[in-house]
Amino acid sequence: MFSNPDDHKIKELLKECKTIAVVGLSDKPNRDSFKVAQYMQQQGYRIIPVHPRVKEVLGEKSYKTLAEIPEPIDLVNVFRKSEDTPGVVEQAIPLGPKAIWLQLGIANDAAAALASNAGVTFIQDSCIKVEHARLLKNG
């Protein structure tokens, strides 16, 4: 069974990763994906929205797929149903991110295995905003 990296590794990732592609980022301010991405943007991270039906979020151009993003990505943050995550991981791996992060309530061991086999750090069922606040802002 898969387990997330320890706090030290997560803290390292949050310090190293500056460009975050957010898959499933909504342009609706009441959605968790928007709130989390907005917080990360306010902390100095570059947010790149990935959503097939959204043109722009938080002042950033949105892309329909990960493959369309024309610049390097440090981390892929995923707001999609658990069953959709293996496909997202398959799209993310060729981009060479340091990590793929599934938000709170999202977990998939097949996606974890794909990422791990490709040598990509994988975090699931965890909120990047909560972890950032816990490990960097208050720590």
Alpha-carbon gap, residue 104 to 30, rounded angstroms = 17
Q: Is the pLDDT of residue 2 over 90?
A: no
For the chain, give every domain's residue range: 7-137
For residue range 73-109, list pLDDT tens digits in order: 999 999 999 999 999 999 999 999 999 999 999 999 9
Q: Which of 13, 47, 43, 8 is nearest to 122 (CA)?
A: 13
Superfamily of domain 7-137: NAD(P)-binding Rossmann-like Domain (3.40.50.720)
Statement: the pTM of the whole predicted model exceeds 0.85? yes
For residue range 67-81, list pLDDT tens digits in order: 999 999 999 999 999
Residue 79 Cα distances to 13, 74, 107, 136, angstroms = 19, 17, 11, 22
Alpha-carbon gap, residue 77 to 49, rounded angstroms = 10
